[in-house]
Chains A and B, each alone.
Chain A
């Protein structure tokens, strides 16, 4: 399947947002399509997470808009899955891995009961290698397992656009491999994936396209161009925490 004929197109144009007086996202524009694994890269504190939250409507937009296949993204929530940062989740919440996964398919009208969560979640849990942990309380999962169960929730949702915020932060190597494998599979199925990512070195090999953020503004393109040493140095030079690049 050629990647260009996938009928999925995300367009972000002139997106801006502010926290109080500070403009944290400033006039960001880019467009990408189904079958792409897109990295959102930049130094700490530059607003990577904020950018995706603005795109998803979690932080109010000041200007600009986001559209999926020509229609506003806000009107098609059933096509989107969001994997927040692991630290934003309360892992002491009383629920099991399987229940967490099926929560992702809660209908918009909020009604209906969840019966047999393990059977329903089995497919997604199997893909991330957590079938054996299906009935475990989420507080008993390790860091990497927690990240994988959040990914399984997104898989279970069967969305077209999947947005992941730092899915590789403090994750063991086995989990990291599983997550990359599943992201690649989703891409090959024609889905569009946006991944907030902090590691420039792996970003160069793994992503089809990258958004490099620097002080609110963004550069978009293939990783080889966007993450060229000169561009990266420029982005990180003014960053709150400079990062040494290999």
Chain B
């Protein structure tokens, strides 16, 4: 790290000294600052109108204006010719489009035709005093005092018109039809815009050249659109990007002897690329990072929730291995999630046993409440079948807000259980009640009772239970036990045979309290 005064001196050496020393650097800096400002403001309007190529069309046709202007009046005619060519080509594009040709085709035809004609004329007459290389690629270090003045005039003109007519330009660029119906002079706005664009292109040629001026009319606006969501701030951000590109390119051109057009455009493109990767919300890397975080958050939530359910509802000894097998996740993934939970002060673990801290229990209770209320809501209000609820709830539970959950709880009348019969923690309670009842697997022939809960960990078995009519609140009696499973009468009706896979997932409150097991033991898989 350099110290303050040393950094100051370095800055002075790199950026200020060339300005002190050379007039062309001062003029060049003035020009790139003004062009950065002007072109960036217009680039926003081009980008939101999806007419980025319009700038390309106008800039290429300007070469024809340069050639014809030189033929008519030598050096004096060049700028006027360029200006007229820009406006005329804008009008030609509008005219061709109105006659039914697609806009992009119209622009493509116009700009290549005029560019070709311009090149043809220049290649025949070989005008003296016009360096084709500079016209095409820019030469910001060769600007004259006239150029600075001209650029200043255009800059003031463009900024003045855009500031004055901002509301009109905004409405016109967003919804030209409604703007026209509202009485806005949309046709005039269109021509004013085209004229401003032509003027900007003509003065920009000195700095970036015909071929690359399009970059200054697209890239700043496109970059800004990644960062903001309204037109006015978009223009402000675009100006910062345009000016930074201009200044960066100027020094790049000075130190590396690169043509100024490519230098400026490369800086602008680099800024665009960085923004594309990193922009909040829209940037590619930002989105990946956010997705990763969301995935981790969802995973951590699941581990937290299951730790509490296993310990409190089912009275199991919670080890990382048990959690991994219950959640069907690789042990490594669970251990990493537990490490994150420990880091956040939500869990404690000594390797073999996992316990939740007070904060962890509170958070887990909230999560369980959210999930089960959501399942109840999906079942009762959206009428989603019992065996389809779990995936739907898993999908939505990480997105739903706490407020929405309380609205749901009110709407449902603060239910005590989810549709599978699991208890829903109430806000006033601490922790969870244990599930009452014994598993149907442990129920002997001759016994029976009311189904208090069915496990929802396997949707295929859940579907089978729904089909058989084994639902919370139904009555079941075990009649006999065969090699293929238990013979069970359901709701005093049909007798069905139930495999032990299912029987171990159904919990029953015994009618006769012959067997009392308030803490059902589920196989610790």
A101 to B169 Cα, complex, angstroms: 16
A68 to B167 Cα, complex, angstroms: 27
Chain B residues in 8 Å Cβ range of A83: 178
Q: How many contacting A-B pairs (Cβ < 8 A)? A: 93
Q: A20-B100, A94-B234, A111-B164 are in contact. Are A80 and B229 (CB under 8 A)?
A: no
Instruction: Return A60 CB to nearest CB of chain B, in Å.
Output: 10
Chain A residues in 8 Å Cβ range of B100: 20
Q: A94-B48, A95-B231, A111-B164 are in contact. Are A82 and B181 (CB under 8 A)?
A: yes
Q: A94-B48, A111-B168 are in contact. Are A103 and B231 (CB under 8 A)?
A: no
In the complex, the answer to whether A56 meets B165 with C-beta atoms within 8 Å is no
Closest-by-CB residue of B relative to A153 is B178
Residues of chain B from 155 to 198 with CB closer than 8 A to chain A in the complex = 164-171, 173-175, 177-185, 189
In the complex, the answer to whether A90 meets B165 with C-beta atoms within 8 Å is no
A176 to B323 Cα, complex, angstroms: 48
A99 to B175 Cα, complex, angstroms: 13
B292 within 8 Å of A (CB atoms): no
Residues of chain A from 63 to 93 with CB closer than 8 A to chain B in the complex = 77-78, 80-84, 88-90, 93
Chain B residues in 8 Å Cβ range of A82: 177-178, 181-182
In the complex, the answer to whether A106 meets B171 with C-beta atoms within 8 Å is yes
Chain B residues in 8 Å Cβ range of A153: 178
Instruction: Return A154 CB to nearest CB of chain B, in Å.
Output: 9
Q: A77-B181, A94-B231, A106-B179 are in contact. Are A111 and B165 (CB under 8 A)?
A: yes
Query: Which of B165, B173, B177 has the most C-beta atoms of chain A within 10 angstroms of its own C-beta?
Result: B177
A197 within 8 Å of B (CB atoms): no
Instruction: Return B190 CB to nearest CB of chain A, in Å.
Output: 12
In the complex, the answer to whether B230 meets A108 with C-beta atoms within 8 Å is no
B53 within 8 Å of A (CB atoms): no
Instruction: Return A86 CB to nearest CB of chain B, in Å.
Output: 11
Instruction: Return A105 CB to nearest CB of chain B, in Å.
Output: 9
Interface string of B228-259 (1 = CB under 8 A from A): 11110010000000000000000000000000
B395 within 8 Å of A (CB atoms): no
In the complex, the answer to whether B168 meets A57 with C-beta atoms within 8 Å is no
Chain A residues in 8 Å Cβ range of B166: 113
In the complex, the answer to whether B182 meets A77 with C-beta atoms within 8 Å is yes
A41 within 8 Å of B (CB atoms): no
Instruction: Return B234 CB to nearest CB of chain A, in Å.
Output: 5
B225 within 8 Å of A (CB atoms): yes
In the complex, the answer to whether A103 meets B170 with C-beta atoms within 8 Å is yes
Query: Which of A53, A83, A93, A107 has the most C-beta atoms of chain B within 10 angstroms of its own C-beta?
Result: A93
Closest-by-CB residue of A relative to B169 is A110
The one of B167, B177, B229 in contact with A106, judged by C-beta atoms closer than 8 angstroms, is: B167
- What is the interface size of chain A, counting residues whose CB is below 8 A from a CB of the partner? 37
A94 to B44 Cα, complex, angstroms: 10
In the complex, the answer to whether A110 meets B231 with C-beta atoms within 8 Å is no
Instruction: Return B303 CB to nearest CB of chain A, in Å.
Output: 32
Residues of chain B from 205 to 235 with CB closer than 8 A to chain A in the complex = 225, 228-231, 234
Q: A20-B100, A96-B230, A103-B170 are in contact. Are A108 and B177 (CB under 8 A)?
A: no
In the complex, the answer to whether B168 meets A106 with C-beta atoms within 8 Å is yes
Q: A94-B234, A95-B231 are in contact. Are A110 and B189 (CB under 8 A)?
A: yes
A148 within 8 Å of B (CB atoms): no
B50 within 8 Å of A (CB atoms): yes
In the complex, the answer to whether B230 meets A84 with C-beta atoms within 8 Å is no
In the complex, the answer to whether A58 meets B181 with C-beta atoms within 8 Å is yes
The one of B48, B174, B185 in contact with A100, judged by C-beta atoms closer than 8 angstroms, is: B174
A90 to B189 Cα, complex, angstroms: 19
Instruction: Return A102 CB to nearest CB of chain B, in Å.
Output: 9
A157 within 8 Å of B (CB atoms): yes
Chain A residues in 8 Å Cβ range of B228: 94
Query: Which of A90, A95, A163 has the most C-beta atoms of chain B within 10 angstroms of its own C-beta?
Result: A95
A-B contact pairs, 17 of them (CB 8 A): A57-B180, A58-B181, A82-B182, A93-B48, A93-B174, A94-B225, A94-B230, A95-B174, A95-B229, A95-B231, A96-B230, A103-B174, A103-B175, A104-B178, A104-B182, A106-B179, A153-B178
B interface residue numbers (CB < 8 A to A): 48, 50, 100, 164-171, 173-175, 177-185, 189, 225, 228-231, 234
Known: A81-B181, A106-B170, A110-B165. 11 other contacts (CB 8 A): A82-B178, A83-B178, A89-B174, A90-B48, A103-B174, A110-B167, A110-B171, A110-B189, A111-B165, A114-B167, A153-B178
A interface residue numbers (CB < 8 A to B): 20, 53, 56-58, 77-78, 80-84, 88-90, 93-96, 99-100, 103-104, 106-114, 137, 139, 153, 157, 163
